Each structure stands twice: as structure tokens, then as C-alpha cells.
Structure 1
Amino acid sequence: MKVSSEDELAEVVRGARGPFRIRGGGTRDIGRPVAGEALEASGLSGITLYEPGALTLVAGAGTPLVEVEAVLAAEGQRLAFEPADWRGLLGTAGEPTLGGMVAANVSGPRRVQAGAARDALLGVRFVDGAGRVVKNGGRVMKNVTGYDLVKLMAGSWGTLGVMTEVSLKVLPAPGAVAVLILDGLDDARGVAAMTAALGSPYDVTGAAHGAMGTLLRIEGFAQSVAYRAERLAALLARFGPVRVERDPGAVAALWRAVRDVAPFHGVPGDVWRLSVRPSQAAALVARARAEAGARGALYDWGGGRVWLLMPEGEDLRARLGAFDGHATLLRASRDVRARIASFPPEPAPVAALSAGLRARFDPRGILNPGLMG
């Protein structure tokens, strides 16, 4: 079922006789399979307000992300958190939407400098599981008392409500960009180089390591980028030769590959995402290779996020046991996702809070039930 207005959506939810599978653009088939009628929100589309001078954009949750990015680019602006496109990784079609991006809190390599998707959210409108229209936040960075639903909706995966409208803070695009590349570093030295770069005063906006080398990105005014790239290259010289790529197209392609986890596109196997302490990342990946058969790794966020290519059906959490971080199953077959929880288990106090929120906003349990369980 596809809805085209907030009122229609509220009426459909109020009259529901069973659960719904909430769908935006259909590009992120993640989590336990949900039994229920498909409820598609892509009809809630269109930019309703854009004020470049105020760095503010408001649009329907079903608005294609590519449309938003094109409008921003025409004014020399962008979504600073660099949202990923996982169609190549997951083998899906469709168009990523603004609401789907927020629901998954999709945040790319620039998160280390600009924050996550939830940090750019100013306000949301959504229909909860009782069919009520709820609004929180607005067009300024200020929240009302009570629930901070702006933050709660980011990463809720449609389990608290179906978003209808999103308000976002946007930022100017930089005038110049450069990426420093170190080749041939092993994982431990790659993480050490990223840590050194991120701890420097040179405002690094991306730090990744994998088969493409160790990548450090600098953005800003041309003169500033040139100076900072030179100084950072000198700082990193102890790790080996440093190449500097300044062509905007080549730089964009490198970071798009990191953002979208391109090394694992079309490669058989499950894909897990680890959130870990960078200082422990290389050792944990070595364990995953030795004890769980991991076949590939891509480090992002300076080592704080690690993508692992695993044998199909392997329970990485069970193999690794407890560690200081958590693991999310991003790509696997429906059968595997039915058997292995995609999302990490929550500590008991957090689980109690989550259950309370779902009882408050989805008392009948009809919105993506079980998806995050």
C-alpha cells in the first residue's frame, strides 16, 4: 500500500487490522524479516522549504535523496554527514529517500568531523502506531520539553512511527579538497596513521583504511587545504611515503567507495559492521580472521567503524564473544537474518527504555514488529 499524504497515512494506520512493513525507497532490506502488509511512504515527497541563507531544508520523508542533494549542490551546499547509498552493498533497487536515511541514521565517513545524521536533524513529523500525527523540533536547533523525538527517530528503523516530514540543517560545500594516501600499511599501522591524523590540528574530515590504502581527507578553502595537506604529509612521513590527490573527481570517487563499502559489492558473503574503539580495531579484526573466517575488512571513522566480509551464515557475535563495542549484521539472506539478530542486543536498562517507548508510540505493535529484535 502506497500513501500520498500524511492524513491518508494516519487514516490507514488507525484502521490497521495487522502489522505493517514500513518501506521508503526499498533500498535497505536490513533486520529480521517482518511479516505484514507493505506500507510505502515514498509518495510523501517534495521539498516544502529551502532557505540557503538559513542553512535549512524541509522535505517530505519520501523525497528521493538524489533530489535533495541536487537542490543543495545548485546552491553550493550539502548534507555534511555524507549519507551512504547501500544499494550496491545490499543488491537492492529503488531510490534512497530522506525518511529512510533518517530512520537508519545513515552517516558516512565525514561523521568524524561533522557528526551523524541525527546531529543535523532539526525536526520531524510522523504518524505513530495509533495513527496520531506527532511533531517534534522545528526549523531551528531547539527541542521542546519531554521526549527528544528528533533524536529518537534517527535510527529507529520505523518502529516508533512512519515519518512524513524531515527538517535538516545543511552546510556549505568546501571550495577545495585533498586526500593523503599511504600505501602498504598493515591494519595496525593504518589505524595508527589515522589516529595521528585525527589527533592533529589539521581538521581531517575522513580517515579510512583498506585495500585502497590509508586515506586521510582535508577540505576547505584552497589555500588552507594546500597548507594543511603539506603539514599533515610531513606529520605522517614516519609511516611511509605519502601521496596527495587533489583532483576533485578522483577524491570524490575514493570516498564514495568508502562511504558505500564498494569493495564488498557483488562479492559473496555476509557483511557485518563493527563499532569499536579504534585502538582495539586491528586486534579485533585479526581475531575475526583467525576465529571466524573473515575474508575482508574496511576501516572507517579512523578505525571506529569496521566493515567485515564474513562467510555466509556465520554468527560473528558468537565467535568473538564479548568485546568493547557491538556488531550489526548488515547483509545476509532472509534465512540468516531470521536466525541471527541483525542488531546488537541491548543492555537490560536500555532494552526496558526501548520497550517503554515502543509501548508509548506503537501500543498495538504494528510498525515493523520484530525487525530490531
Structure 2
Amino acid sequence: MIPQSEAELAEILASAKAPLNIQGGGTRGFAVAGDTLSTSGLTGIELYEPGSLTLVAKAGTSIAEIETLLDGEGQRLAFEPMDSRGLLATTGAPTIGGAFAANASGPRRIQGGAARDHLLGVRFVDGVGGIIKNGGRVMKNVTGYDLVKLMAGAHGTLGVLTEVSLKVLPKPEAAGTVSVAVADLSAAVAAMSAALGSPYDVSGASYDPAAGLVHVRVEGFAPSVGYRSGRLAHELARFGAVNEQVGADELWQDIRDVAAFHDRAGDVWRISVKPSDAVVLAPALQAEALQFDWGGGLIWALVPEGSDLRARMGQTEVPGHATLVRSSQQIRAELGQFAPQPAPLDVISKGLRQQFDPNGVLNSGLMG
């Protein structure tokens, strides 16, 4: 099913008698039982005001189309939404609605915030066909449910996005990357923490264990980038040999998309922890390969099929969240894609789903 309008989508959901698999561009590998309902027919940019840094688009609009438009005005999606196709071996085109439904946030999250922090307003259809609008085209305080933030990261379980209003930002004049050769994960986390604690406005801090390199990014006006890169290189030299380079866009795209795991067999997990806990947790994961982002707070782990990383995390007592990003349907059914929620939060989540999807038709079972 590919509705061509919000009204058509509302009719489908109002008459739905069985669970549906809600899908955007089909690139993220999420799949549940039921007929597929795609938002790929809801396309088009409704409004773009470069001067006010605001864009409104239908949910099925491709990110590529939006980025092309923004690039013409020297602007960008600052939250760096990940392209999952290489990691998950999927096809299709990433959509702006899918990016917000997954709260897909790249390396710049440590500086610019998550995808949800750039979302100003939403239109969506709930599980009984009701059309709901929340938010607007400017940042403001809200009372009651902040449905804008609630929809970001809900993966289509509370409603099907039809339109999003978002904040965009200017592209920086220049970017620089400082790479540091480090001895181990402990030194890597220390180096990233030093960079993030510095006054140099770091917009990316990642560690590649295979190469033994920490990468730190700064962006802004060219003279400022040159100065800050130089100062960071000087301060991080105590951790190992330092290399400075201009730009390195391809490097950061590979970090964003976890390119190191492409075309490699095994399950892929995405783990969020306190950066300092990464040093304790990483050995317990028994992973074939690891990648660290967000200063060590985001861990990507490639492990043999069927490995239960939540159980391994439990043995360390390190608090955090582990999401099974890539695996067989059988393993997903056994382990669950998303981590079980604490009892109080689970009660709230079930109450919200009952409110917005009383018939259980929206990606039923995906998030508990």
C-alpha cells in the first residue's frame, strides 16, 4: 500500500483490521508482520525559507532531494542522518520522515544535538485514522504532550508521519580533522574526552580500533578552523602521533554509515553508554570488530550471528542500551530488536501506544 495523500493514508488506517508494517524508504531494515504501508507516495517540499532556516517537507521526500536543495543555498541537515543501505544491504532511498522516525543522528550529535532537536513540527496519522498536527515552524516551549519529540524515535509505532517541519543550518566555510594514533581504547577515550572538554567546539570525535586512530573534527570559518585544529593537534600530541588534514568529508561519511562493517558477515549492534564506561564494556562484548563515535558514547559492534550482547552487558553491570540493528528475522524474534524498558517506562510506553494506536496496527511488536 502506497497512499498518495494524507487523506488516503487516514482512510487506510481507519479501516485497518490487522497489523501493518509501516515503512518509509525501506532502507533501515525494520520489518514486522503485516502488509507493508509505505509513505513513499507522500513526497514534495512544501516550504523552504533559507532566510529563516526553515524547511517543510512531506515525510516520503528523499533526503537526497532535500540535501540538493539545501546545498544550493549553502545550508545542510546538521544532524547528519545515517544512510543505512550499505550496512543493512537494503535498497530504496532514505526519506526525511524515516530519518526522524528513527531519530537518526550522526557524528555531529555531540555538538548539534540529535535529529529530534532539529524537528519543529509534525503532521501524522494515528492508528485509527486521526490526522494530528503538533508544533510549528519556530522553536518554542510547549505544554501537554510534546508530540514532535515523541514521534522522533518512535519508529512509526505511535503514528505515521506525513509532514515534517525542521530547522536547517548554514554549511561551515571549512572543516578540519585531527587524527591521533593511540595505544588502546583507554587512551582513545581519554583523547576524545580531552578534545570534547576543550574550548575548540569539536563537532566529531570517533575512534577506529582497527587503525588505532582517534579522529576529531572542527568546523567553521577557515581561519578559526586552522587555529583550532592546530591547538587540538598540539594538545592531543601527548596521546600519540598527530596528523592534521583539511575537510575529510569521506572519512566522516564512512564513520556515520559504519562503512567498516559493510559486506562483513555477522550481527550488528548499536550500543549507547557513558563514554567512560566504554573501556569496561568493550572487552566483554567479545566483538569481531568495533567502532566508537560520540566520544565513546556510541559503540557499533560486529559479532557472530546470535550473540546476545544485552546478556554480556548485564554481566558487566554497565548501564546502557543495546539495539540489534542487523540480524536474521529469527534472531530478532529471539532477542528483540530494542532493549526491554524498565517497568515504569514500559507502563508509560504502553499507555501512549494505547492512546495513539488502540487497535495495535502500527508496527506492532517492534518496540515492545
Matched, 1:222 2:222: yes
Report whether the alignment pairs 1:109 with 2:107.
yes
Where do 1:113-192 residues align within 5 Å?
A: 113-192=111-190
Instruction: Show CA shifts across 1:53-85 (max 9, x none).
Output: 000000000000110111111100011111110
Is 1:333 the counterpart of 2:328? The answer is yes
- Distance in 1 (alpha carbons) for counterparts of 2:323 and 2:35: 26
> C-alpha deviations, 1:162-214, integer Å up to 9, x for none?
00000000000000000001124311111110000000000000000013421
Q: Is the 8 A contact 2:181 2:239 kept in 1?
A: no
Q: Match for residue 269 of structure 1?
A: 266
Task: Report sequence identity in percent.
Answer: 60
Residue type at the aligned position of 2:47? L
Find the aligned partners of 2:303 and 2:148 in 1 and give their Cα distance: 34
* Displacement after TM superposition at 1:238 (Å): 0.5
SS of the aligned residue for 2:265 comes to: coil
Secondary structure of the structure 1 residue equivalent to 2:255: helix
How far apart in 1 are the matches of 2:98 and 2:241?
Answer: 41
Candidates 56, 70, 73, aligned match of 1:72: 70
Q: Distance in 2 between matches of 1:232 and 1:94?
A: 40
- Which secondary structure does the structure 2 equivalent of 1:343 belong to? coil
TM-score normalised to structure 1 length: 0.96
Partner of 1:189, secondary structure, is helix
* Gaps in structure 1 of 5+ consecutive residues: none
User: 1:25: which partner in 2?
Assistant: 25
Give the Å deviation of 1:342.
1.1
Which residue of structure 2 lines up, in the alignment, with residue 307 of structure 1? 300
Deviation, structure 1 residue 237: 1.1
Shift of 1:40: 0.8
Out of 237, 250, 259, the position equivalent to 2:256 is 259
Shift of 1:35: 1.2
Return the match for 1:297 from 276, 282, 290: 290
The offset of 1:144, in angstroms, is: 4.1
Give the SS at the match of 1:102.
helix
Cα displacement (A) at 1:140? 0.7
**Which AA in structure 1 matches 2:327?**
A
The residue aligned with 1:234 is 234
- 1:367 maps to a residue whose letter is L
Task: Letter of the 1:252 partner, please give it.
Answer: D
Q: Mean alpha-carbon deviation: is it higher for 156-165 or for 12-21? A: 12-21
Quick one: which amino acid aligns to residue 300 of structure 2? W
Deviations 1:279-310 (A, max 9, x none): 11022101212xxxx11110000000000111
Give the structure 1 partner of residue 8 of structure 2: 8
Runs of 4+ in 1 over 3 A off after TM superposition: none
| 1:326 Cα offset (Å) | 1.5
Q: Which amino acid aligns with 2:4?
A: S
How far, CA to CA, are the matches of 2:33 and 2:299 in structure 1?
31
Aligned partner of 1:320 in structure 2 is: 313
- How far residue 142 of structure 1 moved from its aligned partner, in angstroms, is 2.0
Matches of 2:335 and 2:319, distance apart in 1 = 20
Q: 2:89 aligns with which of 91, 101, 105?
A: 91
| 2:60 corresponds to | 62
Given that residues 136 and 144 in structure 1 are in contact (C-alpha distance below 8 angstroms), is that contact kept between their aligned partners in structure 2? Answer: no
Deviations 1:293-330, CA, capped at 9 Å, x for gaps: x1111000000000011110111111231421111111
Corresponding residue for 2:365? Answer: 370
Aligned residues of 1:277 and 1:303 also touching (Cα < 8 A):
yes
CA distance in 1 between counterparts of 2:349 and 2:297 reads 25
Instruction: State the partner residue of 1:194.
Output: 192
* Alpha-carbon distance in 2 for matches of 1:13, 1:264: 37
| CA offset digits 1:79-126 (Å, max 9, x no partner) | 111111011001100000011100000000000000000000000000
Hey, what's the Cα distance between the residues in 1 that align with 2:366 and 2:297? 25
Tell me which amino acid in the other structure corresponds to 1:317.
R
How large is the Cα RMSD of the aligned pairs?
A: 1.0
Q: How does 1:339-354 map to 2 (within 5 A)?
A: 339-354=334-349
Q: Which residue of 1 aligns with 2:205?
A: 207
Mark the runs of 5 or more structure 2 residues left unpaired by the alignment.
Answer: none
Q: Distance in 2 between matches of 1:38 and 1:176?
A: 43
